Chain A
């Protein structure tokens, strides 16, 4: 049973560029949430997707956007990258019946130079 997978593992971008990160949820899960984890801190909620719609959003600017596909996989897009966007981006999935239990992927390490 495959867990949550994310790609790419690492990414280096220049300030002002745009980036797309990808996530495939755990088998049987239909809800995907994205979190940003700065070095030495706890993850911070960005947004959540269910039924291909953004259902909940944290305190992040509109530069952060996402998408969920019919197969429940998801993308996180960040425009106009800032140095402060450097972080580990985590994807978590859950299922409708046990939606509280979230399972995280290994993350994508984004470095903005």
Chain B
């Protein structure tokens, strides 16, 4: 089955700086890669996703890049704000697995004002 690894496990940045979270996946057949933000006491919130036929996708301050050859994808947050502080999860899914998501271990992002 699929295996997803996520780094770093914790990330502390100053408000206004950029943050980058990286994930690698094991199965080259994976074709969908979402990112979720989970705040304390809440369920994961889908913030951006990318499919395997696209190399990059951007939504305001958030962007995701995908390198299929290296089997890794990254989340980029620019101009970080204190409200960006949360745990971020990457995930991947295989085309023959319905929409079963395999998650990474999570990154705790702390944005210091």
Q: Do residues A100 and B43 form an inter-chain contact, with CB atoms below 8 A?
A: no
| B36 and A104 form a contact (CB under 8 A) | yes
Q: Which of A22-48 contact B (CB under 8 A)?
A: 31, 33, 35, 40-45, 48
Of residues 9 through 55 on chain B, the ones whose CB sits less than 8 Å from some CB of chain A are 32, 34, 36, 41-46, 49, 51
B100 touches A101 (CB 8 A): no
Count residues of B near A (Cβ-Cβ below 8 Å): 26
Task: Tell me which of B34, B46, B100, B105 contacts A41 (CB under 8 A).
Answer: B105
A–B pairs, 29, beta carbons within 8 Å: A31-B99, A41-B105, A42-B89, A42-B91, A42-B103, A42-B104, A42-B105, A43-B44, A44-B103, A45-B100, A48-B98, A48-B100, A56-B97, A100-B32, A100-B49, A100-B51, A100-B93, A100-B99, A101-B46, A102-B99, A102-B101, A103-B46, A104-B44, A105-B43, A106-B41, A106-B42, A106-B43, A107-B42, A107-B43
